[in-house]
């Protein structure tokens, strides 16, 4: 649900309309949480959540595994995640060992999982298959940036088989606009919500966890 009037300026604006009948913002916020209702901050958030909830399960926790072929977006995703209550999942020793068996030696050996700039579709698919089994991970974000040796559409096709992981949402961020649009469409059509930027995906994941928490309270 979305409701205006959080700020003093918005509350003043609402006072001259029927919005003045809606009551205290703090009281309503508490009531929403008790009722298991998720409150979002913008219209775009409202539609994004409607989309993701129609495609992916809610996470059982706030620990996110991030796969990326570029370090910068992985760091920005980490900031966005942590800024709103999410946690970068700590990979189990077995997961690290198994990833080392399918990725180049220079991979990050931690989360975010940097599969490096020359990552192939197989690198992406193998990595997601491995981390999907890690009990320390509650959800997954796969980031792709345009690289000379990375085929965005091929990578997307390879990931579609993991669109439905039991109890763990899978989100994607295909960065690059028109150059990656066909791959983003493949993911969306398969039920993997895909975002232009990783911070948007992290915001959605945090909302999903908040909704799960409210529902359980």
β 87-88/170-174 pair status? unpaired
In sequence order, the 6+-apart residues with CB closer than 8 A to the CB of 82 are: 88
Give the DSSP H or E segment for 80.
helix 71-83
Q: The tokens 């929403």 sit on which residue?
A: 32
φ, ψ of residue 65 in degrees (nearest 5): -100, 130
Angle at 156 (CA atoms; ends 116, 150), nearest 5 degrees: 35
What are the helix and strand counts (H, E) for the chain? Answer: 9, 6
Per residue in 108-117, pLDDT tens?
999 999 999 9
φ, ψ of residue 106 in degrees (nearest 5): -85, 5
Q: How far apart, in Å, do the first and last CA atoms of the chain sit?
A: 17
192 and 172 in contact (C-beta within 8 Å)? yes
Average pLDDT for residues 31-55, to the nearest whole number? 73
Whether pLDDT at 95 is above 90: yes
Q: Is the dihedral of CA 85, 90, 95, 96 positive or negative?
A: positive
Per residue in 144-187, pLDDT tens?
999 988 999 999 999 999 999 999 999 999 999 999 999 999 99
Say what the pLDDT of residue 4 is.
53
Per residue in 6-41, pLDDT tens?
555 545 545 554 455 455 556 555 555 555 556 656
172 and 143 in contact (C-beta within 8 Å)? yes
Mean pLDDT of the chain: 88
Whether pLDDT at 1 is above 90: no
Say what the pLDDT of residue 12 is.
57
Q: What is the pTM of this model?
A: 0.84
CA 78 to chain CA mean position, Å: 11
């Amino acid at each position: 649900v979305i409701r205006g009037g959080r700020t003093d300026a918005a509350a003043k604006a609402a006072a001259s309309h029927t919005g003045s009948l809606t009551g205290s913002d703090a009281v309503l916020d508490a009531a929403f949480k008790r009722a298991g209702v998720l409150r979002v901050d913008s219209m775009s958030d409202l539609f994004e959540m409607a989309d993701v909830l129609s495609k992916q399960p809610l996470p059982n926790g706030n620990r996110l595994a991030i796969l990326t072929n570029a370090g910068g977006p992985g760091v920005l995703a980490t900031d966005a995640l942590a800024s709103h209550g999410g946690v970068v999942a700590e990979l189990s020793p077995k997961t690290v060992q198994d990833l080392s068996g399918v990725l180049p030696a220079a991979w990050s050996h931690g989360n975010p999982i940097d599969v490096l700039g020359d990552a192939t579709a197989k690198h992406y698919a193998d990595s997601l298959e491995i981390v999907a089994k890690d009990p320390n991970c509650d959800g997954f974000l796969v980031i792709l940036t345009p690289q000379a040796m990375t085929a965005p559409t091929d990578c997307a096709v390879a990931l579609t088989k993991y669109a439905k992981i039991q109890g763990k949402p899978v989100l994607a961020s295909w960065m690059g606009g028109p150059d990656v649009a066909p791959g983003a469409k493949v993911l969306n059509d398969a039920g993997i919500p895909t975002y232009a930027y990783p911070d948007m995906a992290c915001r959605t994941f945090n909302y999903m966890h908040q909704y799960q928490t409210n529902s359980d309270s």
